[in-house]
Amino acid sequence: MKRRTLLLTPAAIWGQKKFADPAPPKVAPPGAARADRKANADVTRHKKPAALQKNAVTEDWPCFLGPMHNGVSRETRISKKFPASGPPLVWEMAKGTGYASPGIAGEQLLFLHRRGNQEVVECLHPETGERYWQHTYSTSFEDRYGYNNGPRSSPVIDSDRVYTMGAEGVLHCLHLPSGQVLWRRQLRDEFQVKQDFFGIASTPLIEGDLLIVNIGAPGGPCVVAFDKRSGQMRWGAGTEWGGSYASPIPAVVHGKRKIFVLAGGESQPPTGGLLMIDPGTGAVDFTFPWRSKSYESVNASCPVIMGNYVFVSASYKTGGAMLEITPDFKHKVLWTTPEFGLHFNTPIHKDGYLYGFDGRNEPDASLACVEVKSGRVAWRTSLEWKETFQAGGQQREQMMSPYRGNLLQVEGRFLVLGEFGHLLWMDLSPSGYKEGPRAWLFAARETWSLPVLSRGLLYVVQHGRDVLQNKGPRLLCYDMRE
C-alpha cells in the first residue's frame, strides 16, 4: 500500500465542450392498454412463498445495485437459515443468453436477455413468473471472446417507464404497464461507438428528469444525459475516455448532488478513470485517471461513495484508490493499493471498512477487508470447502470456492453468491469472518450477476448450463421470507 497526499486540480483541459444531439428520437404518447398477466410457458412454478411478516420492511429493487446504488438491502425479517439444497425455490424461468440482473417495482419484474437473434424485454409478476408483456427486437451482437452474446445491462424502472440497454447500444424507453415503445435510440450508431471487448454493459442511471449513460463516444461525449421523457440529449460530458462496464453512481457530496462515472474500456493506449459530474449542467468537476495499463482490460467495478470519500478499483495489476473530495470539489488522493483490485464486483462499505472479492481470475480470487481511512488490508481469505456430488453415476469430491463472487448486505450480514452457483451467509467484520449456511444452487459457471432481493424474495440468474442437473440458463426466484 502506498500513501499519497497529492492535491490535484479540476480537469480544466476537458473544458465544457458543447455536444449536439445526433438523432433526437420520435416520442409516442403512452396510449396502449395495461397488459393483463398470463401463464408463462417458460416458467416452472414450484411453491408459493411464505406470507410476509406484518412488521417486515420491504422495498423495490428498480436498478442495478439496488435503490441506494450500493448493493445494500434495507429489507428485514429475512431468513438466515436454509438447507444444503438452498432456500425454497418459488419459480424458475428458462432464459436465453446475457448477464443482466432483473429490476423490480411493485408487482412487476423486468428482465432483459437474448433468444436467437432477438433481445427480449420480459415483464413478469415477481411472485409467480406470469408474463404481462414481452418486447423483442433484432440483434447481431457477437462477443469477441466467445463468452456470451446476450445483453449485459440491467433494466431501470422509473414510475411508469422502464429503460433497457442492449449489448449493441439499443436504448429503449418502454411504457411499464403495457410494454409500448415510447422512444428508442441506437447509441452505438448515433455516437459512432465501436464495439468494445464485451459490447455495451453499463446500466444507465435515473437522476431527476435525466437518464445518464456511460457511453464513451470517440472524442466525446464520454457521458451523456438524456431527458427521460423525450429521449433528447440534455448534455454531454468528457472528451477523452471510452465507455466502461461500470455504472454511473449518484451521491450528495458537501451538500451538492454529484454523479460519479468510472470510464475506460478498450483503447490504445489504455486510458480511463473517474469523472465527477454536476448533473444539472454536465460540468466535469474533476477527473482522476485509473485503469490498467493492459490493453485487454476494462473498468467494471462501480465507484463507492462514503460521505466525501470515493473508492475506485480495477483489476489487471491495478488495485484500488481512495479519494477525498474537498469543499471546492477538487480531490486529494489519500491512498492507493495494489492489494484490492476488484474485477467486476462492487465492494460493500460497512462501518469504515470495504469488503469485496479481489482478483482477476478464479484461482487468484480472495475475499478481503480493507480499512477506508488507511487502505490497510485487515484480513484476506480464500474460502474453500470440499463438495461431494454425483457425476457420471459416481460419487466425486472437489474443492470449491466462491472465487470472484458478489456480496449483498442484508440486515448487517452478507449474502455471498459464488461464480459457480453457491449461496452462503457470512458475518464480516474488521476482526474476521464467520461462515453461515451454505447451499449449492446449481453447478454452472459465470454466475457473475448481482442477486436481487425484493419483498423477501431472492432472484438469482444462472448464465451457464448446470452440469449436474443438466439444466440450461435460468432466472430463479427463492423464498427468503422469515
pLDDT band at 10 (very low <50, low <70, confident <90, very high): very low
CATH of the domain at 390: 2.130.10.10
- The pLDDT of residue 461 is above 90: yes
Residue 104: helix, strand or coil by DSSP? strand
Give the model confidence (pLDDT) of 462-475 as tens digits: 999 999 999 999 99
What letter would DSSP give residue 38?
B
- Please tell me the predicted confidence (pLDDT) of residue 119: 98
Full strand arrangement of the beta sheet holding 432-440? 72-73, 406-410, 413-417, 422-429, 432-440
Give pLDDT tens digits for 84-128. Answer: 999 999 999 999 999 999 999 999 999 999 999 999 999 999 999
Answer yes or no: are the C-beta atoms of 159 and 75 closer than 8 Å. Answer: no
Average per-residue pLDDT for the chain:
94
The residues, ordered by sequence, that sit 6+ positions from 96 with a Cβ below 8 Å of its Cβ are 113, 114, 115, 116, 120, 150, 473
Output phi, psi for 354, to 5 deg.
Answer: -105, 140
Range 368-374 contact pairs with CB under 8 angstroms and sequence separation of 24 or more: 368/339, 368/340, 369/428, 369/429, 369/430, 369/433, 370/320, 370/337, 370/339, 370/340, 371/430, 372/306, 372/309, 372/311, 372/322, 373/334, 374/1, 374/3, 374/335
pLDDT interval class at 145 (50, 70, 90): confident
Find out whether 97 and 473 touch, Cβ atoms under 8 Å. Answer: yes
pLDDT in tens, 376-429: 999 999 999 999 998 888 899 999 999 999 999 999 999 999 999 999 999 999
Compute φ and ψ for 360, nearest 5 degrees: -85, -45
The answer to whether residues 262 and 229 touch, using CB atoms and an 8 Å cutoff, is no
The grid coordinates listed for 429 are: 467484520
How far is the CA of 467 from the CAs of 21, 119, 242, 392, in angstroms? 48, 25, 37, 11
Mean pLDDT of 173-187: 98
pLDDT cut 70: percent of the chain above it: 97
pLDDT at residue 196, rounded to an integer: 82
165 close to 103: Cβ distance less than 8 angstroms? no
Tally the domains of the chain: 1
Half-sphere exposure of 242 (CA within 13 A, CB side): 27
Separation between Cα atoms, residue 321 and residue 370, nearest integer Å? 11
pTM of the model: 0.95
- Judge contact between 117 and 142, C-beta under 8 A: no
Q: Which domain holds residue 131?
A: 2-479
The C-alpha atoms of residue 372 and residue 347 are separated, in whole angstroms, by: 12
User: What pLDDT is attached to residue 362?
Assistant: 87
Asked if residue 357 lies in contact with residue 366, where contact means CB atoms within 8 angstroms, the answer is yes
